Amino acid sequence: MKPARSRPYLAWIRMLPCVVCGSTRGIEAAHTGPHGLGQKSSDYSAIPLCQKHHWSGRDSYHKLGPRRFAEVHNLDLRAIVSRLTLKPTVRLEGGCFVAHLEGERYVLGKISNGFAPALRRMREVGRERMAVDRAS
């Protein structure tokens, strides 16, 4: 069975800051899940890493391997992937788009402004949540 592929999901991952250093430059989607010989894992196992933490640095994912990388950077890769793949429920409430995710409520914008600004706000919320996760 071939791993799931999603270009839009990978594009979204590349919009997030690096889970190690918070950089927003040169972000790559690093596949972290199980994989076969010469085959990447599912796109839904990807996490955002800057080029240094993905490939080129001495403490990079590909230099250290998944287990050691997670230890060195104090990361729970499974938890990060689980959080990234959560899907918010978006409802219309009181003339606004409102997202609900993990018991939290996020007002994304007025319906009259359209869906595109609400979607941008949801992406911002995702970035903010990643920053909070990194800080804790």
- Looking at residue 33, what is its pLDDT? 84
- Picking from 49, 46, 43, the residue whose alpha carbon sits closest to that of residue 24 is 49
Rounded to an integer, the average pLDDT of 30-44 is 81
Residue 83: CB partners within 8 Å, gap ≥ 6?
129, 133
Band of the pLDDT at 135, cuts 50, 70, 90? Answer: low
For tokens 């287990």, name the residue.
67
Task: For the full predicted model, state whether its pTM sits above 0.85.
Answer: no
